[in-house]
Amino acid sequence: MKITKFNELFTLFANVGVLLGIIFLAVEINQNTRTTQITAYQALTESIIDINSLILLDGDVERIRYAALTNDPNISEEDTRRYIAYLRILQRQSELAFVQFENGFIDGTLARRSMGPLLDHLGRSDLAKDFWQGVESAWPEFGQFVDELRREPQNLGEY
């Protein structure tokens, strides 16, 4: 009889220990997920800062960007090449945002804001539209996602 009571008591303590272990594990996973989200947000923010710094600190970049956005017919070949390089930066930034969004590291609002500059250029610049026709992405879903946002901008609120 004493052994039976001892076994019941021992089983109870073991079950409580397992339950506490599961709770501890859940808390740790939640903290790790939050840390991953913060790291993803930080990487995206740094990318955005780099692009904005490029525009603010280099007058040529701003001049080329403006010429492309206004579809200036006098934009030179060299400036066109530089603009395409700028668009590739926007594409990579947007891909990063898309992948982070798809994996749940950032929310839809941040993803949309991060893709905003690319979407703006694709909506206003003929050079950007031509560029987009030839874009290849490591994530085919990214291109489909952007194309859908371009076709139906009102869907921006759904992502």
Per-residue pLDDT of 39-68, as tens digits, reads: 665 666 676 666 666 665 667 888 998 999
| pLDDT, average across residues 65-78 | 94
Per-residue pLDDT of 117-153, as tens digits, reads: 999 999 999 999 999 988 877 778 888 888 888 887 5
Distance from C-alpha of 49 to C-alpha of 87, rounded to nearest angstrom? 16
How many independent structural domains does the chain possess?
1
Yes or no: say if 122 and 132 are a contact pair by the CB < 8 Å rule.
Answer: yes
Give the angle subtended at the CA of 62 by the CAs of 56 and 101, to the nearest 5°. 70
Q: Tokens in use for 147?
A: 């194309």
Domain range holding 25?
A: 2-158
Please list, in sequence order, all residues whose beta carbon lies within 8 angstroms of the beta carbon of residue 90, skipping any fewer than 6 positions away: 51, 117, 118, 121
